[in-house]
Amino acid sequence: MRKSTTLITGANGEMGRGLITLLHEKKYNNIIAMDLNALDNSISAYCYEEIIGNILDADLIDQLHSEYEFDSIYHLAALLSTQAEFSPRSAHDVNVGGTLNLLNLALEQGRSQGKPVKFFFPSSIAVYGLKNRAEKQAAGIISEDRFLGPVTMYGCNKLYCEHLGTYYSQHYQRLGAEEHHCYIDFRSIRFPGIISSKTVPTGGTSDYIPEMLHAAARGEAYKCFVREDAQIPFMTMPDAVCAIQDIIVAPMKNLNQTVYNIRAFAPTAEEFRQKIIEAFPQARIDYDVNEKRQNMVDSWPADTDDSAARSDWNWNPQHDLKTGMKEYLIPGVKKIYS
C-alpha cells in the first residue's frame, strides 16, 4: 500500500510556505512539496518529499502519478497579475496549462483509488472586471455571481480554471462510456490581496500594501504605485491558509457552491499608510502612481461579499485591520528586520 500523501504545487511561494507551516502545526507528515525552486530552509523539514520541477513537465506529472497516492492536491503554482501582463502567453501556459495538468493528475489518481481526490484551487478577485472608478464605486461589495468580466490575463486564467475545475469534477467527458463525476472534489477560494509579515510578494498588483509595510520596517523609502484612494479587499496570510484548510475539511454536504469569496478588511492605500506610520513614525511613504497598474486595481472590486463562505463552511477571519496590524503584521516585520 502506498502512503497517502498531500501534493502542494508552488510550495516555495508565499502561500505555499504559509500552508506548509500550518499543516506541519496540524501534524501533517505526508506533504509532497513541488516547486521550480528548492524549498526555503524554514519549511523543508516539514515536508515528506521535495520535488523540484515544472508543472508543465508532463513526464514529471506522470512520474508523480506512478510513485505517489494523493488524497489531496493544493495547486498554488501561478504567475500573478503583474507578471502575467508582461508575459501573457507564459501566464496562460503556467496558469491554465499547468492547472490542466494537475486536474488530469487528480482525475487519474481518483480513478485508480476509486474515490475522489480533494483539489484546492486559489482563485482571485482578479476574476471581476469593473469598467471604471464610477462603476467600481457604484458596485460596492460584490458577490460571486456579479461583474465576471476580467480585464487582466491573470483574471481570465483564474476564471477559466474555476470553470475547468467544475467541468473536471462534475461534467468530464459527458459523451464517454465511463462516469467520471466522482474522482475530483474541486474547491476554490477567490482570494483578495494577502499580506504576510514573513515574506514579500513578487509579481502581484495588490503587492503595494505588503511592499509598503516591509519597506517601512526596513527603514526604506517607498513609492506607492496606486492612488491614496485605491481600495480592494485584503486579509492576512494566517487567515488565508486557515481558510484553505477550513474549506478542504468542510463536509461536502455543507458546500452550496465550488467557488467562494473571502476577505477580512478593505482599507484604502492611505488608510493603510496611516496605520504603518503609527507603528513606524519615521516611515517615508509617498505616491508615484503608475496609471496602468492603477487601472488594473480600479477594475477589481472595492470589497467582496463573503457571506456564502461564512454560512457554508464557517469562514471567520481572526484578523481585521486593527488586530492584524497589532497581533501579526507589526510584530512580525519588526522581528524579521530587527
Which of 272, 270, 268 is CA-nearest to residue 322? 272
Give the total residue count for the chain: 338
Name which of 35 and 211 has its Cβ closer to ligand AKB. 211
Residue pointed to by grid coordinates 528586520: 337
Quote the least distance from Cβ 66 to ligand AKB, whole Å. 33
Name the minimum Å distance from CB 67 to ligand AKB.
Answer: 32
Q: Where are the alpha helices (DSSP H) in the chain?
A: 14-25, 41-44, 58-67, 81-86, 88-92, 98-113, 133-139, 153-170, 208-218, 237-249, 269-279, 291-298, 307-313, 321-323, 330-337
Residue with Cβ nearer ligand AKB (5 or 95): 95
The gap between the terminal CA atoms of the chain, to the nearest Å, is 48
- Between CA 21 and CA 148 the distance in angstroms is 33
**Which residue lies nearer to ligand AKB by CB, 202 or 256?**
202
Contact 215, 222 (CB under 8 A): yes
DSSP 3-state of 164: helix
Q: Which is nearer to ligand AKB, 110 or 204 (CB)?
A: 204
The single residue listed with the C-alpha cell 508532463 is 58
Give the residue with the Cβ less far from ligand AKB, 12 or 124.
Answer: 124
Cβ(300)–Cβ(128) below 8 Å: yes
Min separation Cβ 217 and ligand AKB, Å: 20
For ligand AKB, give the closer residue by CB, 263 or 273.
Answer: 263
At a CB cut-off of 8 Å and minimum separation 6, what does 108 contact?
65
DSSP track, 56-100: T-HHHHHHHHHH-EEEEEEE-----HHHHHH-HHHHHIIIIIHHH
Residue closer to ligand AKB, measured from CB, 6 or 152: 152
Of 39 and 126, the one with the shorter C-beta distance to ligand AKB is 126
- Residues contributing to the site for ligand AKB (CB under 6 A): 80-81, 124-126, 154, 191, 193, 204-206
